[in-house]
Amino acid sequence: MNKKSLSTTQKQGKARLGDQIRSIADRLKQETDVQITATSRILGAAAQIAENHDQLINEVVDMVESDLNVEKQVSQKHIYTIDFLKQQFKTLRDAKAHFNLKVSSWESLANKLNAASCQTTIIQNNPQSNQDFVETNIINGEYNFHNIEKLTVFLEPDVAQMFPNSEAVNEALRFLIRVTSKNG
């Protein structure tokens, strides 16, 4: 081969190599652009999630504050004090007769009335199964699905540990109802 044909071959090889390098550079630039676009979308989505999260937190805080205010108002209405009872009734005997309770002091009367209004009965140790409870009450004729004023529910021990009384259970369920109805 002569020098002229060798240099032409080298020039063609260099041209092909240059084209390949340019092609690779173009692909890298396109991939970089795709990555930048994807990153931008991810960051936008993360910002939207953060905004939605903050909004949800604010809604939950508002609901809890509202519930606490309502609960405070309700609990203030139903708290019996010895002084209040003495103002309402001339004697302990009159108060006992009015509420149909057997107590030996004003203090025990107030405690029983407050305990009854709180409805804090949660049975944790060996609760009767719901099926047994329903069957027993149906047999005794006490169970009426259409006229339920109070429903006794037995909590499993792990759940009962989280709820100190029936008020806490009711508040949690009301909160769940509101959240699911807003999102539903």
pLDDT for position 170: 84
- Please indicate, yes or no, whether the overall pTM of this predicted structure exceeds 0.75: no
Summarised one tens digit per residue, pLDDT across range 111-139 is 888 776 554 433 333 444 444 444 444 44
Summarised one tens digit per residue, pLDDT across range 88-116 is 899 999 999 988 889 999 998 888 887 76
pLDDT for position 30: 92
Listed by start position, the domains of the chain span 10-43, 63-118, 120-184
pLDDT for position 117: 59
pLDDT for position 119: 46
pLDDT along the chain (184 residues), means of 10: 64 82 92 90 87 85 80 63 89 90 90 68 42 48 52 78 82 86 74
Dist CA 34 CA 14 (whole Å): 30
